[in-house]
Amino acid sequence: MLAECGFKNIQIKPATGLLDKIAWMVSVLAFKTFSTFKRKNEKSSAIPTRNYLAVILPVYRLLNFIYAFFVKLESVVIPMALASSVLVVAKKDEDHA
């Protein structure tokens, strides 16, 4: 379809697959658990937001760095049939510009 529109050097590569789906499921479960925990302890003295963020942000950065490594690794080994996201790289032919 892209070739019919004047694109050439078309490359299609898998980007994410099962790891992406697992990460979303874990994230949703974590946020559901955290929101339930927060509601139960709402009447008690809460941790100030800036103290909470001072702990959460470095942990988030570390986990994101680790996750990115595994996503890059997965994109190399996952078959196209299991990919949930794909990258399409194409160059417009000058004749059709």
Listed range (31-40, 41-50, 55-64, 81-90) with the worst mean pLDDT: 41-50
Give the pLDDT band (50/70/90) at residue 65. very high
Q: Among 24, 16, 8, which residue's Cα sits nearest to residue 76?
A: 16
**What is the percent of the chain with per-residue pLDDT over 70, rounded to a whole number?**
84
Residue 43's pLDDT is 57
Q: Residues with Cβ < 8 Å from 97, sequence gap 6 or more? A: 6
Q: Where are the domains of the chain?
A: 3-96
Cα–Cα dist 21/76, whole Å:
17
Residue with tokens 């794909």: 86
- The number of beta carbons lying within 10 Å of the beta carbon of residue 37 is 10
Q: Is the pLDDT of residue 19 over 70?
A: yes
For the whole model, what pTM was predicted?
Answer: 0.60
Give the pLDDT band (50/70/90) at residue 18. confident
Residue with tokens 């809460």: 46
Strands (E), 1-97: 7-16, 85-92
- Cβ-in-10-Å burial (0-12, 13-18, 19+) of 34 comes to exposed
Q: Which carries the bigger pLDDT value, residue 51 or residue 57? A: 57
